[in-house]
Structure 1
């Protein structure tokens, strides 16, 4: 089953750039939402009690805050378990 992945980013943020590069490396399909440009998206994120970027929301329920490859792998099954 395909997951719906929203990636909230802000400008001039190294972790946001790392996250985008990581997801692209594994050909993950995702929607990028720039909260610097889109203040409505920023308010949506804050309604979820998320105040940092990058933030990933998977299927509107699972949240990953920050750039954490291990958590991303776990939620998106990118890497085989060791």
Structure 2
């Protein structure tokens, strides 16, 4: 899998933030976490990107706001075996 620069801006007591971090760990993706509740300069960095809420995930130059599993997968190049699978064979009953 390609290496990506992944930075996740989080805040305290944010369940969506925890979901993003859990999925990244599950997919074995290295990331840098920046908690805006603990470090004021991280909040300023986020504001400079015109983003004012968490979670905010930056993958290379693309941002994913909130917890969007399918968009995270697509941006990271992870094949999604979800509901929109391509199939080679069509079965009729």
TM-score by length of structure 1 reads 0.92
1:54 aligns with 2:55: yes
Q: State the alpha-carbon separation in 2 of the partners of residues 80 and 62 from structure 1.
A: 19
Q: State the alpha-carbon separation in 2 of the partners of residues 26 and 2 from structure 1.
A: 13
- Who wins on radius of gyration, i.e. which is larger? 2
Structure 2 residue ranges without an equivalent (≥5): 86-93
Structure 1 consecutive aligned stretches of length 4 or more whose deviation exceeds 2 Å? 79-82
TM-score by length of structure 2 reads 0.82
User: In structure 2, what is the equivalent of residue 64 of structure 1?
Assistant: 64
Cα RMSD after superposing both structures: 1.2
Q: State the alpha-carbon separation in 1 of the partners of residues 34 and 22 from structure 2.
A: 15
Structure 1 residue ranges without an equivalent (≥5): none
